[in-house]
């Protein structure tokens, strides 16, 4: 019962790919927003004249990329922007040694010099407070590296959020996974407490500049921070 004509164009990249396209196309043409429900698997099965197996693999693929949310019993829904897929791509690049940690840091530096400047210009008072709080928590927990790291990551993500451009947030957050794997190494090379506190001071300087609304100054502090971080990684011998 093949009805779905398979014109000339497509040599047949597989039914699943076709189903994935049909679903994304559905989202587009219906103008669905995050939270809106998608057709059930059964409905899609009928519409595409393929087995539920195919439809399910398509849904599951979109779910893996976090374009849709799935949960048992409920129909799938359109998902809010999420960094899941991007993180996995970056991690894949790292673990298969197609990209290096330094290359990621170079990209981060480029992006975060911009996010920090935008944050200084556009942050709300609440956002400025959140950024400052992350910096403060880094200092207060500085004997516990794991905790410092989490606040460090939250610090950078908060700055990205304050840039009010979700694409920046998306990218910065995608890199957080890599950061979690290398952060401690950089921390250890900052052998003395003094070095470590100096690094935390750097974060406070950034937070202050954002609070003051000085994009130039904020960018300078951020650049300095990254230069030191990269140096720490190089000293530690990270390729």
Residues that bind a second copy (CB under 8 A): 16, 20, 24, 27-28, 32-34, 53, 56-57, 60-67, 78-82, 85-86, 88-93, 95-99, 103-104, 106-107, 110-111, 114, 165-168, 170-171
167 is a site residue for DNA (CB under 7 A): no
Residue by residue, DSSP assigns 140-170 as: HTTT-HHHHHHHHHHHHHHHHHHTT-HHHHH
Nearer Cβ to DNA (62/222): 62
Residue 16 parent element (H or E): helix 15-30
Handedness of CA 134, 136, 139, 142 (dihedral sign): negative
Residue 119, binding choice from DNA, a second copy, none, Cβ under 5 to 8 Å by partner class: none
Q: Which residues pair with 77 in a beta bridge?
A: 37, 69
Instruction: Name the nearest CA neighbour of 76 among 21, 23, 25.
Output: 23
Nearer Cβ to a second copy (18/196): 18
Residue 110, binding choice from DNA, a second copy, none, Cβ under 5 to 8 Å by partner class: a second copy
Residue 11, binding choice from a second copy, DNA, none, Cβ under 5 to 8 Å by partner class: none
For residues 77 and 38, is the Cβ–Cβ distance under 8 A? yes
Total residues at the site for DNA (CB under 7 A)? Answer: 24
Residue 21, binding choice from DNA, a second copy, none, Cβ under 5 to 8 Å by partner class: none
Rounded least distance, CB 24 to DNA, Å: 16
The residues near 106 (Cβ < 8 Å, ≥ 6 apart) are: 230
Nearer Cβ to a second copy (105/187): 105
| Torsion angle in degrees (nearest 10) through CA of 219, 116, 188, 154 | 170
Residue 76, binding choice from DNA, a second copy, none, Cβ under 5 to 8 Å by partner class: DNA
Q: Is 5 exposed, middle or buried (0-12, 13-18, 19+ CB in 10 A)?
A: exposed
- Of 43, 81, 167, 184, the residue at the interface with DNA (CB under 7 A) is 43
Nearer Cβ to a second copy (134/173): 173
Nearer Cβ to DNA (51/144): 51
CA distance 108 to 123: 20
Which residues of the shown chain bind DNA in the complex (CB under 7 A)?
12, 14-16, 40-43, 49-54, 56, 59-60, 70-76
């Amino acid at each position: 019962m093949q009805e779905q004509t398979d014109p000339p164009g497509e040599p047949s990249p597989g039914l699943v790919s076709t189903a994935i396209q049909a679903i994304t196309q559905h989202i587009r043409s219906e103008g669905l927003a995050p939270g809106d429900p998608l057709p059930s698997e059964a409905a899609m099965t009928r519409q595409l004249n393929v087995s539920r197996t195919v439809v399910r693999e398509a849904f599951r693929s979109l779910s893996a990329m976090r374009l849709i949310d799935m949960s048992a019993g409920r129909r799938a829904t359109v998902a809010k922007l999420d960094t899941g897929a991007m993180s996995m791509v970056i991690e894949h690049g790292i673990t298969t040694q197609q990209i290096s940690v330094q290359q990621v840091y170079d990209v981060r530096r480029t992006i975060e010099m911009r996010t920090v400047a935008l944050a200084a210009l556009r942050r709300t008072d609440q956002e400025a407070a959140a950024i400052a709080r992350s910096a403060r928590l880094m200092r207060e927990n500085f004997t516990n590296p794991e905790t410092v790291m989490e606040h460090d990551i939250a610090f950078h993500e908060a700055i990205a959020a304050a840039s009010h451009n979700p694409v920046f947030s998306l990218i910065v957050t995608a890199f957080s996974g890599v950061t979690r794997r290398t952060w401690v190494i950089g921390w250890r090379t900052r052998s003395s407490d003094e070095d470590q506190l100096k690094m935390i001071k750097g974060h406070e300087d950034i937070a202050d500049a954002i609070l003051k609304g000085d994009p130039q100054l904020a960018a300078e502090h951020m650049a300095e921070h990254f230069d030191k971080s990269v140096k720490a990684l190089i000293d530690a011998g990270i390729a």
